[in-house]
Every structure is written in C-alpha cells, then in structure tokens.
Amino acid sequence: MSIEIIISLIAALGVGGILGALLNRRFEQQKQINDHDMKIFTQSNEILTEQKLHDITEFHLSGDHSINDDGFSALTKWCGFFEQTGNQYLDKRINKENQKLVNSSFQLTDFIARNFFTIKGQNPHNKNKYLKPDWNLDRGGNPTPEKEAKYDEYANKLEILTRETLKCYAEYRLSIKRILKI
C-alpha cells in the first residue's frame, strides 16, 4: 500500500475511527481470553469444586489426618489438568494465582503420597489412608515415644501444607471472581 492510500484512509476514517477500531480489537481479544479462561475454570471446577476441596482438607486432612481414594484422586486429577499446556489460563493475573495453587497442591499431594497408608488389617471396604498409622496409637500402631514425636512433626507439616493450599485457593478464586466475574 502506498503512503497516499494510507493517508487517504486515515483522513477518511479520522482519528476517532482508528481509535474506535483499535479499542474494538482490544475488546474482542479480551473477550476471547475471558471465554477461554471461563472454559478452563468450568472444566477444572468439574474435577475439584471449592466445596470438595474444603471437605478433603478441613474434615479429612486437618480433622483426622486421613484421605480417601476419591479425594486423593480429585486432587491429583486437578493438578494434572493444569499440567497440560492447553489448560493454562491466558489472563496473566489468574494464571499467576493458579500456578501458586498448583504448586501448593503438588506439595500437598506429594506429602500425602509419601506418608499416608492403610491400617494393618483394615476393612477392604474402607478406602481411607492415614498419616503414618504405625506411628499413631489411635490407629492401632505401637509407636515408640520417638515415633509419636515424629508423628506430631508430620501432623504439623500436614497442617501447614493444607493451610497453604487453602490460602492459595482463596486467592485464586478471588482472581477468578474479579476478572471473570463468576
């Protein structure tokens, strides 16, 4: 395109027309980002809702240092969902909060995978795993005083990881509310 044609177009459209076109383009881009991010949130929320996360963390992990197979599966599937490139948020503010939550959730699930086990002689219909059951007298273990003290350390670590995950989830969910208005 020659310079004369460009000047003619600018004169015909005027500055307002060009500004309007630029703003309209920006609006359309933001709408596409929001639509994508809304889809990602909806899909991830089908895997792990806020209520399910609170049930897992508040009642099971913090309450009695246990987790059932369904709860652990939901946590790991949710983390796995966000490992996929196509499931990344496009809005940088949401993505930042989501990455903090995913990192915290990975630390929590790693701790659970390494330190939660079934109780010896456990009913096969009981799908729960427990924090170091051999170190806990209430779980049928016969721990030494040293193991009981170590159990308390592990319970404190579990509490810290659980609280951090809930804190990150609250920040993530607030960014979703603010930006996507849901």
pLDDT grade for 8, boundaries at 50, 70 and 90: low
Q: What is the pTM of this model?
A: 0.84
**82: Cβ contacts below 8 Å, ≥ 6 apart:** 44, 88, 98, 102
User: Domain of 17?
Assistant: 3-180
CB 44 within 8 A of CB 82: yes
pLDDT grade for 1, boundaries at 50, 70 and 90: low
Question: What is the average pLDDT value for the chain, to the nearest integer?
Answer: 90
The values of phi and psi at residue 92, to 5°, are -65, -35
Average pLDDT of the segment spanning 65-82: 97
CB 131 within 8 A of CB 65: yes
Residue 43 CA to residue 88 CA, distance in Å, equals 12
Half-sphere exposure of 61 (CA within 13 A, CB side): 29
How many domains would you assign to the chain?
Answer: 1
pLDDT at 66: 96
pLDDT grade for 59, boundaries at 50, 70 and 90: confident
pLDDT at 57: 95
Residue the block writes with tokens 């309450």 = 63
Q: Copy the structure tokens of residue 144.
A: 């030494």
**147: Cβ contacts below 8 Å, ≥ 6 apart:** 132, 134, 135, 141
> Does residue 51 surpass a pLDDT of 70?
yes
